[in-house]
Amino acid sequence: MPMPAHLGSFLFVATVLCAAVAQAATVTYSDRTTFLAQLSASDTDTFDRAVYASGDVGSLVDFERYSDAGMSAVRGETDFASTGFSDLHYVGQVVAGLDSAYCAGCNGSFRLGFTTTSLGTTQGVGGVGVTIDRNSSILSYDAFVTFGDNSTATYDLGTGGRFFGIASDSLVQSIHVTQASGQPTTDASSGFVIDDLTIGTLAPVPLGPALPLMLSGIGALALMRRRRAA
């Protein structure tokens, strides 16, 4: 039995409405201001020496050294795992002339986990953004991202200094900063340093100016259907 024309139109409008309110799956950002505008709540780790005041592994003149557990426990919002060097996290003036920052041995890979933060769920957070102070042009590091649904993707982090942000309605479970698609990396000729690590929850998606018109159309189709049935 063929579908009534008015019912087909109703289903078409409903489908368009659902598409209009759906959130973009994953978006990356190269500007911090634009990235922050996507978040309804956020937390930024500035790696300030006043907070990271005493490494659980040791201290040097310019920086503190932490184990995985010690680094993760300082603020409790990100799980840090050094994958290139075992339990090796530096916070401080790891690069001359720069503010206090973070690196995992400064030429080793590391994983940032977001499943225990107060701004997310056990599947991750809505958005992650970070200032990259240094990314070697010789053997540069990429971001190997695991999402809340366990899918993965690799993002080019460029070279030198820049901002990288990512937001996803699938949530961001972890970011492995490495040279080889999630594999541990150490290389004396390379280096990677970050600052101002921001995590957050996504702001509600605006419904858009077309929504009232779509709702009116659905209402009109429903009224037409009732009249034909009468």
* Chosen CATH of 23-202 out of 1.20.120, 2.30.30, 2.60.40, 2.60.120: 2.60.120
Could you tell me the residue ranges of all domains in the chain?
A: 23-202
Q: What is the mean pLDDT of the chain?
A: 85
Kind plus residue range of the DSSP H or E element containing 33: helix 32-36
Backbone angles phi, psi at 187, to 5 degrees: -160, 120
**pTM of the entire predicted model:** 0.81
- 75-120 pLDDT, tens digit per residue, is 999 999 999 999 999 999 987 777 899 999 999 999 999 999 999 9
Query: Per the structure block, which two tokens stand in for 109?
Result: 């890979």
- 220-230 pLDDT, tens digit per residue, is 545 455 555 55
